[in-house]
Structure 1
Amino acid sequence: METWYAIDNAVQVDSPALLVYRDRIVQNIDRALHFVHGVEDRLRPHIKTNKCKEVCQLMMDKGIKKFKCATIAEAELLGVIGAEDVLLAYQPVGPKVDRFLQLSKAFPNTHFSCLVDNSDAAQAISSKSLAIGLRTTIYIDINVGMRRTGVVLEDLERLFMDVLLMDGLQLIGVHGYDGHIHDKDDKKRGEQCERSYGILQTAYLMVQANISRPLRKVIGGSPSFPFHAERTDVECSPGTFVFWDFGYAENYAEQNFQLAAVLLTRVVSIVDHKHLCLDLGYKSVACESSQPRVKFFDPRIGEIKMQSEEHLVVEVPDSSKFTIGDSLYCVPRHICPTVACYGELQVVNGRQADQTWTVYARNRKINY
């Protein structure tokens, strides 16, 4: 049985730990570039998955210059490493407006943009931008079917006409996130992506007809990535591809990214002859999904029977085959919020966890 995930120095690594495999991350970045036929400018990866300087730097080393993020801390991290173009895929409101504008002052070599889907929110950003001598670039967020954020087509004309009159803003594109698309059947998923793209394209044409300079289109996440990657007129925004997880591996196997993040856990108690308790509570792995929230490499680990804050009870054929302190490896169903459970990643090179990467943007605030 292949054990690529096992490390030789597990005894030196406290658990629970999130191991990341540098060579596999690099291969996944290459795979993402393959989808866009090597045109780096068509990739705008979302860093919500990794929240880490070093992973973003690996993407920059491959020529990727544009990024997307969801929090001010993630945007700041990208400014710190000198990313060229950063889109905050969120409409900043309240104190976030000031925090976002501070980034443009603090990191003048990074071009920051944000989303808007509401005239009042846009006006607040415009007014505060003018007050400090900035003109903020924005994308209009379009509701392409997810019904979470974004303006619907019926209200788009009024919004962009308002925006065009705001001196503190410069409209540079339209954005759509189709996170509602997650059908396992790739044919159905392709049809759904086509509908979402159609909505974004309609919005683009409506706005472009009123602006002389060319606008950009940003669309998609990981499930829709291969379909939008074939379009030469959009920037694609996958994020999970750098680490992957078992949820995406099972549902979108055709993307063929490699698992590059694995949880190390240990047996902390032998409950009875059929059950073990591990140190993998729901403070250590994303818990928004139903069980199983992790998939174990060891085939002896059966059904998850109970999970609490610091404990995970699993069923096994014979608990006498295990000892207290045994190391076990598993992959989370959803890697993005799992990363946010950890202050640092244990980096595996070869079969050694010999480095740590700080998850800087795990916090809501770094400096700004």
Structure 2
Amino acid sequence: MGLSLPTILPEELQRLPSPQLVIFRDRLLSNLDSMLKLAKSPARLRPHCKTHKMHRIIRLWVERGVLKHKAATIAECEMCASAGATDVLYAYNPVGPNIDRLVALAGAYPQCRFRATTDHERPLRQLSAAAAAAGVTIGVMLDVNVGMDRTGMTPETPGAAALYDLVRQLPGLEPSGFQVYDGHQRQGDLMQRRVAVAEQWPRVLKLRAEAEALGSTVPAFACGGTPTFPCYASMSDPAIETCPGTSVLSDSGYGNAFPDLPFAPAAALVTRVVSRPAPNRMTLDLGNKAVAADPPKGARVLIPELPDAVQDIHSEEHLVLVTAEAEKYQPGDVLLAIPVHVCPTSALYDRAVIIDGGRIVDFWEVTSRNRRIVF
């Protein structure tokens, strides 16, 4: 898909303060529909809400029959449940006070099944004790490390199947399957990604067989992210749940890296020129506090109007561009920028302005941008 943006009517654009997150509703809905088409059915989709963190977007999913969701924080879990999700995976190993927070959340939303991941016996037993004491049941997925080496147990780790089997033996817990996240698979060519997934999959199936031999069931695999979404979506194992996240809003990072993905940027940042310190320099109000700073300096946004501008200085409140086109701009002029990484960008704003047909039509709260809502 292209990396252009829809038009915002000039009079509407001038109303918006900057910096400001905007979402193009038609693009968003198109991305949701494309995700559903790729997954083939709502039951095969467990989208990750960390990209947008918005109650209103969860509601759009629920209206489309997508009731299973994936989250990275307790606040995101709470947001999903409050928006009507009936099955939420806390794709994080709960430790410390977050164990009690998750258990309390399960008690407050009995209509929603909560799951968590595990890769170690100690917090698993603590989760069991807390859940049993509260009279709730928490589903547990084994966090399976297929090469990213961030969390989890490899399929060959001694005791991996036994740890998963322990789940069915502990009170307050139930076996829910495996999380298989492969964020390291970022090959630009789709066929290369398919081959990489196919190579790692027999290891996962072998671990499932080992767990089943011990007496446990492995009802689901929560698989991959956005880059490997089409790989898992094309596989026939009925236990597979696809877990894309970034594709909901998309961004220029994924748009450039994975041109095969059928998603277009649905989010952008409104920014203004605040200074012209030299003939070939222009400074925008799009500092590190307005756009994700985890991409390398100099490559944190794409400005469609100035695609070749050099992003020279990026400090807390300023982004300095070096471009021969600078003379065309004066302080107060407005531009749109596409984040390279939209997920941490959305968390920098308390609300998004919704654009439809070039006009401002709504304002959506970024519900779970903070670490706590109620629980």
Q: TM-score, normalised to structure 2's length?
A: 0.94
Q: Matched residue of 1:232: which SS?
A: coil
Q: 1:100 offset after TM fit, Å?
A: 0.4
1:289-304 alignment to 2 at 5 Å? 289-290=295-296, 291-299=298-306, 302-304=309-311
How big is the alpha-carbon RMSD for the aligned residues of Structure 1 and Structure 2? 1.6
1:21 aligned to which of 19, 24, 30: 24
CA distance in 1, matches of 2:223, 2:201: 8
Deviates more, 1:165-174 or 1:358-367: 165-174
Structure-2 residue corresponding to 1:182? 186
Aligned twin of 2:285: 279
Match of 1:317 in 2: 324
Q: Deviations 1:108-163 (Å, cap 9, x if unpaired)?
A: 11111111111111100001111111222111111111111111222313312433
CA–CA separation in structure 1 for the residues paired with 2:9 and 2:183: 35
Return the offset for 1:84: 1.1
Q: What is the identity, as a one-letter code, of the residue corresponding to 2:373?
A: I
Q: Specify every segment of 5 or more residues in structure 2 that has no aligned partner in the other structure, as ranges.
A: none
Count of residues in correspondence between the two structures: 367
Residue 179 of structure 1 and its aligned partner are, at CA, apart by 0.5
SS in 2 for 1:253: coil
**Post-superposition offset of 1:257:** 0.5
How far apart are the structure 2 equivalents of 1:116 and 1:3? Answer: 41
Would the aligned equivalents of 2:62 and 2:84 in 1 still touch at CA under 8 Å?
A: no
Equivalent residue number for residue 336 of structure 2:
329
Determine the structure 2 residue equivalent to 1:266. Answer: 272
Which of 178, 202, 206 in structure 2 is aligned with 1:202? Answer: 206
Paired amino acid for 1:176: V
Cα distance, 1:60 vs structure 2: 1.4
One-letter amino acid matched to 1:218: A
Query: After TM superposition, where is structure 1 displaced by more than 6 Å over at least 4 residues in a row?
Result: none
CA distance in 2, matches of 1:310, 1:133: 49
What is the rounded CA distance, in whole Å, between the counterparts of 2:325 and 2:231 in structure 1?
46
Partner of 1:160: 164
Q: Superposition pairs for residues 218-297 of structure 1, below 5 Å?
A: 218-233=222-237, 234-290=240-296, 291-297=298-304
Contact 1:5 1:262 in 2 (8 A): no
Distance (whole Å) between structure 2 residues aligned to residue 363 and residue 193 of structure 1:
34
8 Å CA contact 2:69, 2:89 repeated in 1: yes
Residue identity in the other structure for 1:251: A
2:353 paired with 1:350: no
Q: TM-score, normalised by structure 1?
A: 0.96
Report the CA distance shift for 1:54/1:159 in structure 2 as closer, same or farther (over 3 A). Answer: same
Q: Does the CA contact (< 8 Å) of 2:116 and 2:140 recur in 1?
A: yes
User: Alpha carbons of 1:232 and 1:7: their partners in 2 closer, same or farther (altered >3 Å)?
Assistant: farther
**Is residue 113–residue 138 contact of structure 1 (8 Å, CA) maintained in 2?**
yes
2:116 is the alignment partner of 1:109: no
